[in-house]
A and B are shown apart, each in its own frame.
Chain A
Amino acid sequence: MSERTNAQPLVKTVDLKKLFKLKGGALLHAVDGVNLEIYPAETLGVVGESGCGKSTLGRTILKLIEPTDGKIYFEGEDITKYSVRQMRHKRRDMQIIFQDPYACLDARMSVVDIIAEYMFIHHVYKSRAETYNRAAQLMDQVGLARRYANAYPHELDGGRRQRIGIARALSLGPKMIVCDEPVSALDVSIQAQILNLLMDLQDELGLAYMFVTHDLSVVKHISNNIMVMYLGRCVELCSADELFANPLHPYTDALLAAIPKPDISLRGKEQKLIRGEVTSPINVKPGCRFASRCPFCTEKCTNTDPEFVEVTPGHFVSCFKVNNK
């Protein structure tokens, strides 16, 4: 990260918060003070377990969900208070690919109509012919045979449906795409095809990705920087190589240890397991979110919020154990 101090981040959030109000006035802390930067042509991986707020974060950045507090900057412009109409214009630059390629496509539209829809909404081309022409080009670009142009989503398999989702996201020529678990619903051999496609498109078009996933091996493969989230907070942020070589936060450590590795030499070795389960994000008390499961928890951890500190250049951690060193 230090190499690019001159470059302007494409997306930047400052202390971004999204709290959902529940019945009875309780507050669910989905995203709780996240600072991140995404640079052009780079990928920020966001990892965490279910309920850690990673999908909410992705949607809040696109303002599909209104943030409660904090700021979102896109190309240096504060878009936090943008109206729906202003955002509609901005979304030409920022798009999203969803997890479930079965649910996010209109079952009653043909493939080419789904891909062309955004271009019609934004009046990108003057004529229908030009729009459909571009849609066909996009199909080539994402590796969908043109013979599927008039097919309906239910006729295609998961991998091809995800390609439709990608073509649709590309149709407006975005600068950034939020990929919300785009390969989780796919089989490994298809998953690899889609990951390669996303990386090829990034090289070709200079896209920035925010790649939200629960799968650490996928995120390592595709990301430049990785952010680890736990209960709405960012606990660790650094480059992908650094995170795997030198994980500092006890939660990151536990996550890495928990992945079953396809290597039989590790069989039967004691695993570092963390106890318990993710605690409730409703009306959270001050203190480190991970304290109740942390093997290094001290009294300080349960009373005070640890700060998000840059320990070595480009490596940020929020943990008292690390920060005190």
Chain B
Amino acid sequence: MAEERTDLILDIKNLKVVYKTDMEVVEAVNNIDLKIGRGKTLGLVGETGAGKTTTALSILRLLPAVTGKVLEGEIHFDGQNLMEFDEHFMHAIRGNRISMVFQDPMTSLNPVLTVGDQIAEAISLHNDQLSKEEIDRKVEDTLSMVGILPKRKSDYPHQFSGGMKQRVIIAMALCCEPELLIADEPTTALDVTIQAQVLAMMRELRERLGMAMLMITHDLGIVAQTCDDVAVMYAGEIVEAGTVEDIFTGEHHHPYTVGLFNSIPNLDSRASRLKPIPGLVPDPTNLPKGCVFSPRCEHCTEICRQQRPETVTHGTHSLRCHLFAEKKEGGAAHE
């Protein structure tokens, strides 16, 4: 057990996060478990409002202070529970051992500072012993690592294109060589050809630096091409998790995962109509009593409406659905 723990860079246990206002309580993340091995990439997939970004923000303890609350759970990073540490300790972790890349490159850079200054800020915050020249050299190294000419460090963000800005942000996130990179939809705002360039670069850097990555995305194509493990999130719960092989070629799937795959127009098939999931994501202030997916599920039965399913695990593949809870019992009886 102790040996297993050291293999994991991130181990989230039973995390529950709510946003509380005077009027209502939004149940954003409901008792999820996530594990990322060292040097591995986990894809967190789901639609808007599934709780993907909230999960990422809780890891860095960046939830909005007034409304966001972690009610239950532990987040172990490299064997230490981050929930027990004070703000001062988190400062030393953020940007240094865990970094985050945000979705929108246009709004995550400061328009009145040069990109070189912004990268230097991240480096000097975590390495106070470095001299000015050393920091300068490190800024140039980081920029060339992401494919930007070092002489452009004195340019301002508006002088860069969207793809270049995202490269700058990735450079900033990587300048302290973090052990874990959280990438929240890093390429959603980019064009496909630029997206392909940025993804290829991220893959290469991940291998070179040996860091682990939490890739948050809604694009199953990106997951298939970049991730080792996948967790499918729906209405604050992880409904299915496993290796990419489990999710993309495995036999059994959660009905929501099946629905997601059927919703993407397939480049190879000539089906005249897509098979979308009927209905909408449930209101997080008023989640269904039983299985969160039950109102939209075609296999919904009485038990689904009444009781929350437990997570059933087969090897690396885990599912949270009553369909498979029964199957397991049935399978056991046959043996």
A→B interface (CB under 8 Å): 49-50, 157, 159, 187-193, 195-196, 199, 214, 216-218, 220-222, 241, 244, 254-255, 257-264, 266-267, 271, 273-274, 277-278
Contact = CB atoms under 8 A, between A and B. Distances in A.
14 contacts: A190-B280, A192-B265, A196-B276, A199-B273, A216-B192, A217-B264, A260-B226, A261-B267, A262-B261, A263-B248, A264-B245, A266-B225, A274-B193, A277-B164
Interface of B: 47-48, 161-164, 191-197, 199-200, 218-226, 244-245, 248-249, 259-267, 270, 272-278, 280-281
Contact of B244 (A221, A264, A274): A264
A187 B47 contact: yes
Nearest to A221: B265
Contact of B219 (A260, A264, A267): A260
Nearest to B222: A260
Given A189-B263, A216-B267, A260 B200 contact: no
Contact of B163 (A217, A220, A257, A277): A277
Given A261-B224, A271-B200, A192 B263 contact: yes
A189 B195 CA distance: 22
Contact of A220 (B162, B199, B265, B275): B265
A269 to B, nearest CB: 9
B139 to A, nearest CB: 22
Given A188-B263, A192-B274, A221-B265, A259 B224 contact: no
B265 A218 contact: yes
Contacts of B245: 264
Which 7 residue pairs across A and B have the least CB separation, nearest first?
Answer: A260-B221, A192-B276, A221-B265, A258-B196, A49-B191, A192-B263, A192-B274
Given A49-B193, A193-B276, A221-B265, A262 B161 contact: no
A258 B218 CA distance: 17
- Please indicate which of the listed interface residues B48, B218, B248, B267 has the most CB atoms of chain A within 10 Å of its own CB: B267
Contacts of A49: 191-194
Given A199-B272, A221-B265, 6 more contacts: A189-B47, A189-B259, A216-B192, A217-B265, A264-B224, A264-B249
Contacts of A257: 196
B221 A259 contact: yes
A270 B30 CA distance: 39
A157 B193 CA distance: 30
A196 B276 CA distance: 8
Contact of B224 (A195, A221, A244, A260): A260
A277 B47 CA distance: 29
B276 to A, nearest CB: 3
A195 B265 contact: yes
A78 B109 CA distance: 48
Contacts of A260: 195-196, 199, 219, 221-222, 224-226
Nearest to B280: A157
Nearest to A158: B48
Contacts of A188: 47, 218, 260, 263-264
A277 B166 CA distance: 13
Given A189-B277, A262-B261, A217 B192 contact: no
Contacts of B164: 277
B263 to A, nearest CB: 4
Contacts of B194: 49, 277
B248 A192 contact: no
A263 to B, nearest CB: 6
B221 A262 contact: yes
Contact of B200 (A263, A266, A273): A273
A273 B281 CA distance: 36
A264 B192 contact: no
Contacts of B223: 262
Given A262-B248, A262-B264, A277-B161, A255 B193 contact: yes
A263 B244 CA distance: 10
A313 B198 CA distance: 37
